[in-house]
Amino acid sequence: MTLLQKLKQRFRRDSVTLDLHDIQALILRSRPEPYVGVHAMLHFNEADGARALLGRLAPHIASADNWSEDLDFWIGAALSFEGLKALGVPEAQLKTFPLPFQQGMAARSEQLRDFGPNAPENWDEVFKAGNCHLALTIYAVDDTALDKALATARAELDKSSGVTLLGEHRFGAPDGAKNPFGFRDSISQPAVDGSGVDPLPGEERAIKAGEFLLGYESENGQALGMPEPAALGKNGTFVVLRKYNSRVGCFNAFLKAHGETPDEHEHLAAKMFGRWRSGAPLTLSPDHDDPELGADPQRNNDFDFKDDPKGRVVPLGCHMRRLNPRDSELTLLTDVNIHRIIRRSSTFGPVYSEDVAPEDDAKGDRGLFFIFISARAYDTIEFMQQEWINRGNFVDLGEERDPIVGLHEDDGRFTIPQAPARKRIDGIQTFNVMKGGEYLFMPSLSAIQWLAAGSWG
Ligand code: HEM
């Protein structure tokens, strides 16, 4: 049974309280597995043409409504602040958007700790400040479905004037859900209250919908501030898009330099991520990979850290535990449930191989579009980049950074707690280098029509 079929089986319409017909599918539907797709970035040169394109695209943008429908592709659309401006949205409404969104990702480099190799001046042209107005994403179950979706989108684009296609980037993970480093990803996702899909074992409880969608109650009991009017804000959400080039060769060389045998390399890699390549969590399988466990959604996220407070099984500083400390005791008190994110990342480039060498990294052909969705996306990403990724003092690790996505301008360190003495490994590098990104608003389907109509009253 495919992942989508499994998901559809878990869908219960009688527990739905959200306006699924108005919410973009990308928000509430997982990627297919395996998946292929395209990200297309567009620039609006002129408001009338841009609004006409939005209007023509609107019927093709999938809603989260019918989980039993056999969709073999879905298109999602998100706009930057500059995009909304270029559509002609009036100032009174523009200023109801969060300030970081208004400024755009490049202008937030200080808060995001995007310095040195990750700084905006080194980003791809597409993502240079103000360029990307509309980001279209297509997820498809196979190349045939993707070609069909692309033909649809291109036909609408060909009819348009006043819009420039800045770039199109194909992605996909033919080997299931493996990312550029050969690790299964997108496993741990929050369940969204009212979406009709109950939490899987290990997810404890569904998180209030207002954490992920505008216009619903959040974890603090109220709806978060929403762009106005409600016709524009309600059922929409915010998206963080960050494109990384993965230095897989460097990562391989690092593993080989710090272990004698392939088993030792695999063990170190698992300690850095918190899971084995198959997705099997270290907590449930501390000594070796277990592909059956990794592929089983009923078991692969069913754990917490209460029996591992010092991180002897899952290091406190590994990628997965940093970005969701679950029940770990944190030195800096934080409500973990308001920092949950829906991840919709996509991998590009050749399938992982242990033979990739550092010199191969210069091609820049492997990487990941890290994409996440949250109604408080900008606070969350800036908090994560500052506290959980590029520092370590929230778990008493001082200035130690995330070994996978941290920025390491000088060689970094990774601590593996163990008895009798913890092991410290130096030589961590920036294994994922930022190539650009943007802060985006993903409107509801009715808001796309509202924007296309341009009657702002
Ligand atoms: C750019 C390269 C990245 C790679 C290769 C990567 C890889 C992974 C892998 C393999 C996992 C474990 C499996 C899973 O649950 O999906 C994971 C989990 C996770 N990652 Fe990343 N990731 C990357 C970037 C990021 C960034 C930039 C963030 C946040 C700003 C992030 C946030 C998370 C979160 C929240 C989890 C789930 C933790 C949990 O709930 O247990 N990742 N990532």
Per DSSP, the three-state class of 331 is coil
Q: Which one of 207, 343, 372 would you pick to mutate in the ligand 1 pocket, going by the greatest count of ligand atoms within 8 A of its CB?
A: 343
- Judge whether residue 9 has pLDDT over 90: no
Helices first, then strands: H and E counts in the chain: 15, 11
pLDDT band at 1 (very low <50, low <70, confident <90, very high): low
Residue 453 confidence (pLDDT):
97
- % of the chain surpassing 90 pLDDT: 84
405 Cα–ligand 1 center, Å: 9
- Judge whether residue 437 has pLDDT over 90: yes
And the tokens for 235?
Answer: 């059922």
Query: Domain spans of the chain?
Result: 3-244+440-453, 247-341+351-436
Which numbered atom of ligand 1 lies nearest the CA of 181?
Answer: 5
Do residues 255 and 136 make contact, with C-beta atoms less than 8 angstroms apart?
A: no
Q: Which one of 405, 431, 432, 433 would you pick to mutate in the ligand 1 pocket, going by the greatest count of ligand atoms within 8 A of its CB?
A: 405
319 Cα–ligand 1 center, Å: 7
Do residues 85 and 77 make contact, with C-beta atoms less than 8 angstroms apart?
A: no
CA separation for the pair 31, 189 (Å, rounded): 12
Do residues 88 and 452 make contact, with C-beta atoms less than 8 angstroms apart?
A: no
Residue 212 confidence (pLDDT):
97
And the tokens for 404?
Answer: 């996978």
Which numbered atom of ligand 1 lies nearest the CA of 180?
Answer: 5
Alpha carbon distances (Å) from 100 to 208, 216, 381:
23, 21, 11
And the tokens for 289?
Answer: 């990979």
| Tokens 């029940």, residue located | 327
- Judge whether residue 170 has pLDDT over 70: yes
Which numbered atom of ligand 1 lies nearest the CA of 380?
Answer: 30
Do residues 142 and 72 make contact, with C-beta atoms less than 8 angstroms apart?
A: yes
> Lowest-pLDDT range, 66-75, 311-320, 338-347?
66-75
- Judge whether residue 332 has pLDDT over 70: no
Residue 341 confidence (pLDDT):
92
- Average pLDDT across the chain, whole number: 94
187: left (phi over 0), alpha (psi -120 to 50) or beta: alpha
Residue 457 confidence (pLDDT):
67
- Phi and psi torsions of 170, nearest 5°: -85, 145
Q: Which protein residue's CA is at the shortest distance from atom 3 of ligand 1?
A: 405
